[in-house]
Chains A and B, each alone.
Chain A
Amino acid sequence: MILLTAAPARIPSPSVDWFSILPAIALFAAAIIIVLGRSLIRHDPRVTHAGLFTAIAGVAASAIFTGIQWSFVHSDGPYQAMGGTVAVDGFTVFVQTVILGATLLALLISAGYLRRESLEGAEYYALMLCSATGMMLMASANDFITIFLALEILSISLYVLAAFDRRRLTSQEAGLKYFLLGSFSSAVFLYGIALVYGATGTTNLTGIARFLSQTVLLHDGVLLVGIALLLVGLGFKVAAAPFHMWTPDVYQGAPTPVTAFMAAATKAAAFAAILRIFVGAFSSFSVDWRPEIWGLAVLSLLVGSIAAVVQTDVKRMLAYQSISHAGFILIGVEAASLRGTAAALYYVCVYAVMATGAFAVVMVVARRGDDRHSLSDYRGLAAARPVLAGLLTLFLLAQAGVPLTGGFIAKLGVFSAAVDAGQYWLALIGMLAAVIGAFVYLRIVLAMFAPEEGEVATAESPIRVDGGTATALTIAAAAILFLGIVPGIVLDFARHATQLLAR
């Protein structure tokens, strides 16, 4: 209606500030180089190696650009570019850093995996970088159109990656399932955008926030339905119950490094969008969306942790637990406060590390074929491979929220935010869900350290840890202890990031 009555105006062409999306461009450029190299040089096996190095170089370049952005934001304050569709602020920088870290770890554990499964192909790295490009854009997106584009870029690459292990049926199933449900959720998300646009007349997040703070909607039904649909679409991406149905199957079926990447980086990007949209744009409607997030959080916590209890497949347990971790992060979102946003950001960062670490060990233990995921495959692991078992224990205890690991500080953060916001019940439910979660993790730990007599699995093929995975595991273990013992630096970063939100 607005469009029809408005006078025909010149569409302003925005000035393009390439610098604002340079981190994403760096990743995408690396992906293009890999694809080009692959198509020009066909039969040289060194291409795969070169692909890995190009990918890592791309991540490094992207990290450098992100660092420069941070120094700009730090000195000159946050700003918007590309006609307000891209925001360069502390929030962007923080989420981009997390995504880059998760991508780096995923790349490192992928190399050995691809070699082991004879899947070597530079396309894999290109796809992963493409997906990461989408995530980087999502972190900085300040407009629904940009968010949708980013969402599609990251998703389409992930669909292919999930099905990358062509020979394994479960991988194909994972890809197909993820694709079908994912495109469905994208459609729902798009419809949500349309409704919000209809209600507010803009797709720009800053514009929406301004519109809603200046206008009283007499009939806000369209907007509320729009918000709900947006939540459905994003809830799917972060694997929050009740939109979690795909998670166990896809996480279990996808190649394990892809699972790690999906769990760590996708969650970070999607939560960045949730925080920017809900805590940012719809802050004046928090009375309406907070109960919805409350419900999502509680459902995710309960479904994730309780369903994990009955699993016997370790990869599937971790998949269910990723649902409950989404619930913990949603506790931070629900608070709708600076403290809550900072806590959610910190949780996303910690989760990226501990999920990648745990899935890396799962990948190693699965051995060739990527199918030894059952709890019995972990029996007696501590006796056979003490260091590996110790590392997995560290990552699992971190996920359980045991002190002196990053997981504790992350949980402390979201619970603090909930208590600060007066949500005592939500905090209590979260803590009790953590206890159920601990049961699941301890089952795995018990299997490794204290197998029942005569239950020690006889290792027919030895477990091999390649250099890349060893590096990734070392980085992840150091990071999780660092985030737990001296969390101050990253906590302050997250807090600054929240305060430096572009408005």
Chain B
Amino acid sequence: MLASITSVASHSSALGYPLLTFLILAPAIGAVVTLLVPGRRPELARAVGYVASMATFAMALFLLVQFDSGASGFQLVESHSWIGAFGITWTLGVDGISLFMVALTALLIPIGLLASAKIDKPKAFTFWMLLLEASVIGVFLALDAIVFFIFFEFVLVPMYFLIAGWGHGNRRYAAMKFFLFTMAGSAFLLLGLLSVAFLHQRDTHTLTFSIPALTDWASAHVHGATAKWLFCAFAIGFAVKVPLVPFHTWLPDAHTDAPTAGSVVLAGVLLKMGTYGFLRFAVPFFPQAAVDLAPILLVVAVIGITYGAIVAAMQPNLKRIIAYSSVAHLGFVVLGIFAFTQQGISGGMFTMISHGLTTGALFLLVGMLYERRHTYEIVDYRGLWKAVPVFGGLFVATTFASIGLPGFSGFVGEFLSLLGAFLTSRWYAVVATTGVILAAVYLLWAVQRAFTGEPDEANKATPEIGFRELVTVVPLLGLSLFLGFYPKPVLDRLQPSVKALVAHVEQHSDYREPAVANLGPVAQAANGAGK
């Protein structure tokens, strides 16, 4: 029998201490300590930031080790009552879907801090970054819908201050737009959550927001129009976050005007909160509605892939190109998820990880250019490769990684997600494939304009990449390369959860996974692709 996606692994409390709570508390405590550091000692605040975020990273690595790769349910679950009047409990747990998102967050925050070593007002900056880390990790670990929502909403606050306080260009507008768009989306999400919980209460006379309990109940008892309405409420909430066309307009502004570390975290993990939401709530809660409405989401995903790529190609601003490329990449994730095949969902999730690494690295590199030249306009750059060869090489390599060249993680993710989509929704996959080519167009064209040719005086004077900057980029690029050649460790941990999710959808809807999709382990197909 297949393990249910909502099962709680038997060895859940094997550790004897609440590792997951620590993962949230460590950066939160770091943030409070930062606040207590006197304003005259900025270097102390920075040190607190490194220590807290590295401690979190170490714990995340420990979590990766502790994670039982064969199990599909939630692991390391811990639960305490919190707000009894609403049936809200502090319940945390991790499964294959959330594991790597936590790890990615824990990796990107220290890198973001390191990349922002020269930023002004370091105390406040560190405070918000650590608070951001705590809340993002909370989003991925929460097994109580309201706890999830609390973190999901709270993420807006530090990100808002990061954009408004340290951004550039039209930062005030961008920060406001980011906050309001997402909050408006969350309104639908909260309405959906409350509706499910109270329908559940009417049926069972217990008020709970436990995600496993609501998943089991909603997938079996909510049907027809109710399920479709509720699915739409959830979908709107998450679509704003992903973002899916037509809710994407906040993203280019927020990405472009955010400070480098903000963009890295925004693209790296914040957008994935949306796709994660689809995997954790919208699809498992209402499998039949998800299957019925999948064509809409597939269309939107394909539009995102092609539209994002075309608009990106037209941008004169380097950072805006990367911003729009996120719209396209996240389109692949949604395409994979709503293919409902193991390959598709694995591919979508793998793209989530890969996009965090490669786009994070791209934002870091573009940020370095901005620090040197105070412009993102492509026309200001020419012949950079000759002027700064190491930087140029890294940039081109990262571009390849982002395009999804074989050998980089992007290829594995997009290939799987296209493969999965091809099995069930052939024509969507065919159109989406053009996005792969378009990605090469917009990124390589930008590289060609900025990096090739003969540098003029201003470009010649651009300083070469420093050691600290190398330390921020190389791990991301290295990981992308490693996962491109050897994705097995990740896919092995994703697979049980993905398999259980597909089984869950099959069990509660009229959808049947095509036999060909279930022939062999996903990892095999992927390893074949990686070589």
Contacts and interface: CB of A to CB of B under 8 A. Distances in A.
A479 interface: no
B250 to A, nearest CB: 13
Interface string A444-459: 0110011010000000
Interface in B153-208: 153-154, 156-157, 160-161, 164-165, 171-172, 175-176, 179-180, 183-184, 186-188, 190-191, 194-195, 198, 201
Contacts of B175: 442, 446, 450
B355 to A, nearest CB: 27
B83 interface: yes
B146 interface: yes
Interface in B340-368: none
Contacts of A443: 176
A259 B191 CA distance: 33
B190 A403 contact: no
A36 interface: no
A491 B83 contact: yes
A416 interface: yes
Contacts of A497: none
A487 B146 CA distance: 14
B85 A432 contact: no
A412 interface: yes
A488 interface: yes
Interface string A473-502: 000000000000001100110010000000
A180 interface: no
B184 A435 contact: yes
Contact of A408 (B150, B184, B194): B150
Contacts of A359: none
Contacts of B324: none
A408 B86 CA distance: 13
B198 A420 contact: yes
Given A435-B184, A450-B175, 5 more contacts: A402-B154, A404-B150, A415-B190, A431-B191, A438-B180
A424 interface: yes
Interface of B: 82-86, 146, 149-151, 153-154, 156-157, 160-161, 164-165, 171-172, 175-176, 179-180, 183-184, 186-188, 190-191, 194-195, 198, 201
Given A403-B153, A404-B154, A450-B165, A435 B172 contact: no
Contact of B86 (A397, A403, A412): A412
A488 B83 contact: yes
Contacts, number: 90
A452 B170 CA distance: 10
Given A412-B86, A416-B86, A450-B165, A428 B183 contact: no
B194 A415 contact: yes
A435 B180 contact: yes
Contacts of B188: 428, 431
14 contacts: A402-B153, A404-B154, A408-B150, A413-B86, A416-B198, A419-B195, A420-B198, A424-B191, A427-B194, A431-B186, A442-B179, A449-B164, A487-B83, A492-B85
A487 B164 CA distance: 31
A434 B191 CA distance: 13
Given A412-B86, A449-B164, A419 B176 contact: no
A413 B153 CA distance: 16
Interface of A: 342, 397, 402-404, 408-409, 412-413, 415-416, 419-420, 424, 427-428, 431-432, 434-435, 438-439, 442-443, 445-446, 449-450, 452, 487-488, 491-492, 495
B150 A403 contact: yes
B163 to A, nearest CB: 9
A424 B195 contact: yes
A431 B190 contact: yes
B85 A403 contact: no
B146 A412 contact: yes
Contacts of A431: 186-188, 190-191
A302 to B, nearest CB: 15
A450 B146 contact: no
A415 B149 CA distance: 14
Contact of A492 (B84, B149, B176, B179): B84
A419 B85 contact: no
B179 A446 contact: no
B378 to A, nearest CB: 26
Given A446-B176, A488-B85, A419 B194 contact: yes
Contacts of A415: 190-191, 194
A439 B176 contact: yes
B82 A488 contact: yes
A432 B180 CA distance: 10
A103 to B, nearest CB: 26
Given A419-B191, A419-B198, A442 B160 contact: yes
A404 B190 CA distance: 16
B191 A488 contact: no
Contacts of B183: 434-435, 438
Contacts of A491: 83-86
Contacts of A412: 86, 146, 190
Contacts of B180: 435, 438-439, 442
Contacts of B165: 449-450
Contacts of B154: 402-404
A442 B191 CA distance: 23
Contacts of B153: 402-403, 408
Contacts of B82: 488
